[in-house]
């Protein structure tokens, strides 16, 4: 499976050379329905999880109905697999030591105080997993079905991104406002067509908008944290098709196809959840932000 993003309508660095040093690679994941195995990179697929390693649980209080016992129960909740990324497929990842696999799980609840799913990251070496956990624990409590991703295979593709306009200096922001991008006001054209690729991706820049840009600092060493993974509610907007891969153009034109959100995930009503890691050490705690 392959996905190819069309070239941007113009070379923005030709119009604004000061953007060139700010170019940053991102890898669009392009999740699509499939039947991934633990040996595949995936969204919502099975994890390569060691049989002798405890499964992570969310320790917040949860309540759910047990149909077998015909009663309500409460307690910790088994975390749910969200994504598994092999470095061979997503080389932008910077794993610790000999690790070559990143696994992301979350609790499908918007817990206080931030009202977002708590996340856990695990780095591991695939070669060291010799005995695979056959049946993971069931995630008994689910607040929103939109936090249970459908199983998808991936078609990773590297693209180049530029910062959200809110991260640019005031002079450049004004130049973009005054610029005629050829189709609409320059600032809007830059935002929607030239800067950040939509959809699930690794690396890249932050899709600010709900808040102004805020530096995320590592709780251990105070280094400025970098975007690791963006979990998106859709891969493109129905009114803006320039980011639709060539291979999806036909099905994207079919109303209700759902291909723009194959995992079926909705982040807090249609936003993004972005995970950040410390550039000094991937073993330092990560953090997350909804935008």
pLDDT digits (tens, 9 = 90+) for 29-51: 999 999 999 999 999 999 999 99
**What predicted TM-score, i.e. pTM, was given to this entire model?**
0.94
pLDDT at 239: 75
Average pLDDT for residues 22-33, to the nearest whole number? 98
* pLDDT at position 183: 59
Using DSSP, how many helices (H) and how many strands (E) does the chain show? Answer: 4, 14
Tens digits of residue pLDDT in 102-130: 999 999 999 888 899 999 999 999 999 99
Question: What is the C-alpha to C-alpha distance for residues 284 and 216, in angstroms, rounded to an integer?
Answer: 13
Least confident of 9-13, 71-75, 260-264: 71-75
> Can you give the pLDDT at residue 166?
93
Q: What is the pLDDT of residues 274-287, one digit of tens each?
A: 999 999 998 899 99
Q: What is the pLDDT of residues 182-239, one digit of tens each?
A: 556 788 899 999 999 999 999 999 999 888 899 999 999 999 999 999 999 999 987 7
**pLDDT value of residue 105:** 98
Count CB neighbours of 269 within 10 A. Answer: 9
pLDDT of residue 182: 56
- The confidence score (pLDDT) of residue 287 equals 95
Q: Give the tens place of pLDDT for each residue, 78-90.
A: 999 999 999 999 9
Q: CA dist 26 to 67, 129, 205, 230, 234, Å?
A: 44, 29, 8, 10, 17
Q: Is the previous residue joined to 113 through a cis bond, with omega within 30 degrees of 0?
A: yes
The mean pLDDT value of the chain amounts to 93
Per-residue pLDDT, 181:
59
**Residue holding tokens 């595949």?**
40
Mean of the pLDDT values across residues 88-98?
94
């Amino acid at each position: 499976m392959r996905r190819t993003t069309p070239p941007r309508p113009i070379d923005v660095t030709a119009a604004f050379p000061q953007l060139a040093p700010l170019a940053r690679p991102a890898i669009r994941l392009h999740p699509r329905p499939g039947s991934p195995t633990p040996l595949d990179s995936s969204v919502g697929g099975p994890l390569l999880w060691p049989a002798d390693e405890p499964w992570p649980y969310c320790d917040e209080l949860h309540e759910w109905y047990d149909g077998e016992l015909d009663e309500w129960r409460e307690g910790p909740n088994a975390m749910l697999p969200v994504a598994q990324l092999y470095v061979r497929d997503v080389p932008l990842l910077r794993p610790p030591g000999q690790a070559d696999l990143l696994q992301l799980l979350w609790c499908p609840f918007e817990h206080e105080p931030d009202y977002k799913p708590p996340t856990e990251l695990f780095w591991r070496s695939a070669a060291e997993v010799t005995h695979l956990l056959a049946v993971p624990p069931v995630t008994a409590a689910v607040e929103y079905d939109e936090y249970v991703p459908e199983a998808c295979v991936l078609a990773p593709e590297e693209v180049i991104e530029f910062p959200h306009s809110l991260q640019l200096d005031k002079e450049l922001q004004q130049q973009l406002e005054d610029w005629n991008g050829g189709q609409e006001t320059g600032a809007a054209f830059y935002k929607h067509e030239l800067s950040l690729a939509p959809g699930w991706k690794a690396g890249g820049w932050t899709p600010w908008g709900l808040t102004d840009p805020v530096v995320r600092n590592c709780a251990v060493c105070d280094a400025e944290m970098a975007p690791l993974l963006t979990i998106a509610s859709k891969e493109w907007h129905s009114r803006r098709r320039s980011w639709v891969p060539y291979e999806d153009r036909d099905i994207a034109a079919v109303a209700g196809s759902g291909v723009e959100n194959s995992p079926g995930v909705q982040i807090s009503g249609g936003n993004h959840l972005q995970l950040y890691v410390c550039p000094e050490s991937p073993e330092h705690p990560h953090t997350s932000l909804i935008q």
